[in-house]
Amino acid sequence: MTIKDIAKESGCAVGTVSRVLNNQEYVSEKTRAKVMEVVNKYNFVLNTNAKALKARGTKTILILVKGTSNILLNSLLETVQKNMENLPYTSKVIVLDEYDNETVEAEKELRENKPMGIIFLGGNPERNREVFPRIKCPCVLITTKADTEEYENLSSVSTDSLEASAMVARHLVEKGHRNIGVIGGDLVSSATSRRRFAGFTQGLEACGISFDKEKAYATSKYSLEGGAKAAEELLEKYEGMTAIFAMSDMQAMGACRKIRDMGYRIPEDISVVGFDGLPITQFYCPKITTVRQNEEELAVQGLRILVDAIENKTGAIHKNIPFEFIEGESVKKI
């Protein structure tokens, strides 16, 4: 039961109901009685705490999650919210499709609800240069580097995707692979995908190997379904392929499923490497070789930077969190 419900049942305006509940003037006795009849019928009690909170304004941090099925981002969200429990802030979470424009959504929320700060879990600051200057509160981008953007209110905490992806390339080449396919996001809209692609191809070039994007790259969402569909595409168009680098563990696991469904063995026929280091990859069969991002440190450092910016007006800070290369059972030496 809300004030709106009381207004509807009593046939009075919401403002009139509010004046009755707050014992204010300019309400006739007849109208007051009509409202109180409904109030007493449902034993309605005015929430004075909520009223007081609204009066002084809430201290909200907006969290925008870029990807509806990204386990890493969901894990980061859980860690951020857990670390906010002892802080004087509430969180509002909005989950977006990975192709949605997170900056447009942030601007809308800032205009309508005025959060104290914004956390972007995933995102692409390069894509939104027209909109972002209108966002005037402290922001932090977690998992994607933003140090190339000259925004004093945008910090970032990320893994060095360039070096990590180059390491994947070197590892596969050291294992004897030359015909390697890549499953990744849209290179136009995803800054993360561009960095990982650049790092991987640079790693191959350092080993004297060129990369044929048309034949060896398959675009996919960062999901199980996306990885499966992309693996099927690569197997159909890239004859002689012996390995796949998937830009996320979700894509890697989806790819593994499809590879097996198509009659191939892992790693005997096709080797697979993922990225993120999700715990589930070490319980998968076979264990997936992957790059592990430090989820806890990414989330904790990102929240700390944002709160410091809110409370102490600090400028943009950009941090790299060390990664770990985990060699599993999904890569064969040939």
pTM listed for this prediction: 0.79
Give the fold, CATH level 3, of 161-293.
Rossmann fold (3.40.50)
| pLDDT mean over 83-98 | 92
| pLDDT score, position 55 | 43
| pLDDT score, position 7 | 83
| pLDDT mean over 1-9 | 82
| pLDDT score, position 156 | 95
pLDDT digits 0-9 by tens, 137-182: 999 999 988 877 788 999 999 999 999 999 999 999 999 999 999 9
pLDDT digits 0-9 by tens, 215-271: 999 999 999 999 999 999 999 999 999 999 999 999 999 999 999 999 999 999 999
* Type of residue at 279: P
Give the fold, CATH level 3, of 57-159+295-322.
Rossmann fold (3.40.50)
Between 24 and 95, name the one with better pLDDT: 95
Domains 3-54 and 57-159+295-322 share a fold: no
Cis link prior to 267 (omega < 30° from 0)? yes
Lowest model confidence (mean pLDDT) among 19-23, 25-29, 91-95, 120-124 = 25-29
Is the CATH number of domain 3-54 1.10.260.40?
yes
Domain boundaries, the chain: 3-54, 57-159+295-322, 161-293
